[in-house]
């Protein structure tokens, strides 16, 4: 992937790159909300949804330090969300809390508010309440999340892991695929994107002495595409 790494450096300043603020949420439910609402829409609407929820619940959006997980007692927990919203009408949750009525699909999709509740419910079943519990999410839990209507592709789950701290995953959305196809000059399958990113990160390190993770490279390319 030397050619791709060279092309990336021609377009993007990776030496002064920093992850976007959305990778430093102060609580796990915000990662779920962002990952569900970010599919197939402009990111400004996602930022609005997260802000609307934080305003409704009067909670802190971003952590105080990028380098340290927030203390457990300072986090808005999965159980806090479910205690209040598990039995909440999904339509009211969409309209009054998130203030966004998007569905997971334009055809037979469920409200994204419902997908958020179901996702968080599965986390709680796995005894995951805060960032510090995330290692408890197992293959069975992942399978249940992928079974939520509209989540079969796994993109939201991967993005959730990224928002929650995983450096080794990417979110292969339309902007990422478009960038790869424009620069590699062929059709790119979602299934091959992560390997392309891993190989490109290695090339950036070996050929240019740039240390960058797949998550960071994903965010750098996404921001580049967004601002074109």
Q: How confident is the model at residue 29 (pLDDT cuts 50, 70, 90)?
A: very high
Number of domains observed in the structure of the chain: 2
Among 136, 164, 192, residue at a domain's last position: 164
Q: What is the pLDDT of residues 73-129, one digit of tens each?
A: 999 999 999 999 999 999 999 999 999 999 999 888 999 999 999 999 999 999 999
Cross-strand partners of 111 = 103
Domain that holds residue 207: 2-20+171-226
Ramachandran assignment for 220, one of left (phi > 0), alpha (psi -120 to 50 degrees), beta (any other): alpha
Among 119, 146, 164, residue at a domain's last position: 164
Q: According to the model, what pLDDT value does residue 106 have?
A: 83
How is residue 154 written in tokens? 């796994």
pLDDT at 2 over 90: no
Cα–Cα distance measured from residue 28 to residue 219, given in angstroms and rounded to the nearest whole number: 19
pLDDT at 1 over 80: no
How is residue 21 written in tokens? 């603020």
Instruction: Give the C-alpha distances (Å, rounded to integers) separating 116 from 7, 19, 34, 130, 157.
Output: 38, 24, 9, 16, 11
- Does residue 103 share a domain with residue 7? no
- Does residue 71 share a domain with residue 101? yes
Q: CA-based angle 109:226:33, to the nearest 5?
A: 40
How is residue 196 written in tokens? 């392309």
- Does residue 144 share a domain with residue 189? no
Q: What is the pLDDT of residues 188-199, one digit of tens each?
A: 999 999 999 999
pTM value?
0.93
Q: What is the DSSP letter of 111?
A: B
Q: Which residue has the tokens 């609407």?
A: 45
- Does residue 94 share a domain with residue 148? yes
Average pLDDT value over all residues in the chain: 95
Cα–Cα distance measured from residue 137 to residue 225, given in angstroms and rounded to the nearest whole number: 32
């Amino acid at each position: 992937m030397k050619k791709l790494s060279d092309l990336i450096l021609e377009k993007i300043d990776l030496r002064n790159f920093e992850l976007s603020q959305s990778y430093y949420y102060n609580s796990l439910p915000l990662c779920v909300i962002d990952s569900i609402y970010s599919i197939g829409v402009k990111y400004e609407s996602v930022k609005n949804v997260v802000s609307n929820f934080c305003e409704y619940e009067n909670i802190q959006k971003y952590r105080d330090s990028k380098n340290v997980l927030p203390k457990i007692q300072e986090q808005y927990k999965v159980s806090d969300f479910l205690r209040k919203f598990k039995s909440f009408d999904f339509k009211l949750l969409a309209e009054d809390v998130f203030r966004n009525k998007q569905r997971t699909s334009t055809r037979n999709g469920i409200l994204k508010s419902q997908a958020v509740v179901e996702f968080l419910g599965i986390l709680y079943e796995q005894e995951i309440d805060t960032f510090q519990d995330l290692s408890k999410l197992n293959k069975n839990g992942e399978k249940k999340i992928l079974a939520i209507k509209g989540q079969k592709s796994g993109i939201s789950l991967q993005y959730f892991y990224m928002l929650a701290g995983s450096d080794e995953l990417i979110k292969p959305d339309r902007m990422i695929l478009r960038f790869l196809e424009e620069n590699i000059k062929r059709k790119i399958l979602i299934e091959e994107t992560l390997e392309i990113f891993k190989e490109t990160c290695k090339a950036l390190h070996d050929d240019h002495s740039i240390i960058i993770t797949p998550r960071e490279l994903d965010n750098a390319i996404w921001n580049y595409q967004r601002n074109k």
